[in-house]
């Protein structure tokens, strides 16, 4: 049995907790453009990225760390991430791409085998960013 067939058989009740139907969660946050900059001991910038988008309530320190350490793409190119929204979307898409956890696919009261004897591949190893 294919994994797609199993997904149509699985029913996991989920309760909405932190979002509202029809409202993009990103629209619930006030965003602003900033410059992320990290200076060396001599005051010379060792990292700088202008026009990065972060929640207004985030500290400048958090902005600097996330932009310098976790944004992907070569600095100064269109491929470079410039918003926390892009980073969050990338991470969520990666996790969602792994598929449902094995416990979701198990039969209630069963022996732990997946329906139809299907095999679900394990997620890829998590890379440290």
pLDDT digits (tens, 9 = 90+) for 11-27: 566 788 888 889 999 99
pLDDT band at 1 (very low <50, low <70, confident <90, very high): very low
If one counts the domains in the chain, the total is 1
| CA gap 12, 123 in Å, rounded | 20
Note whether residue 48 is domain-resident. Answer: yes
User: For the whole prediction, is pTM greater than 0.75?
Assistant: no
Q: Is residue 29 a contact partner of residue 18, using CB atoms and an 8 Å limit?
A: no
Note whether residue 94 is domain-resident. Answer: yes
Note whether residue 17 is domain-resident. Answer: no
- Across 9-23, 40-54, 107-121, which has the greatest mean pLDDT? 40-54
| pLDDT for res 91 | 94
Domain with 78, as residue range(s), is 26-114
Please give the span between the terminal C-alpha atoms of the chain, in angstroms, as a whole number: 36
Q: Which tens digit of pLDDT belongs to each residue from 57-108?
A: 999 999 999 999 999 999 999 999 999 999 999 998 888 878 766 656 555 5
Sorted by sequence, the CB contacts under 8 Å of residue 110 that are 6+ apart come out as none
| pLDDT for res 71 | 97
| pLDDT for res 17 | 86
Summarize the confidence of residues 102-127 as an average pLDDT: 55
Q: Is residue 27 a contact partner of residue 45, using CB atoms and an 8 Å limit?
A: no
Note whether residue 119 is domain-resident. Answer: no
Sorted by sequence, the CB contacts under 8 Å of residue 6 that are 6+ apart come out as 105, 114, 115, 116, 118
| Other Cβ atoms within 10 Å of 35 Cβ, number | 14
Least confident span in 4-13, 21-30, 44-53, 60-69: 4-13
| pLDDT for res 128 | 40
Note whether residue 60 is domain-resident. Answer: yes
Give the bridge partners for 35, in sequence order.
50
């Amino acid at each position: 049995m294919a994994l797609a067939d199993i997904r149509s058989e699985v029913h996991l009740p989920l309760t909405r907790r932190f979002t509202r139907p029809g409202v993009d969660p990103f629209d619930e946050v006030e965003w602003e453009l900033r410059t992320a900059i990290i200076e060396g001991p001599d005051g010379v910038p060792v990292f700088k990225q202008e026009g990065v988008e972060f929640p207004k309530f985030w500290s400048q320190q958090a902005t600097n760390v996330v932009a310098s350490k976790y944004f992907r793409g070569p600095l100064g190119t269109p491929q470079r991430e410039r918003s926390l929204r892009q980073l969050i979307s990338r991470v969520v898409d990666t996790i969602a791409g792994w598929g449902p956890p094995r416990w979701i696919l198990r039969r209630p009261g069963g022996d732990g085998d997946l329906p139809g004897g299907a095999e679900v591949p394990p997620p890829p190893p998590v890379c440290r960013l």
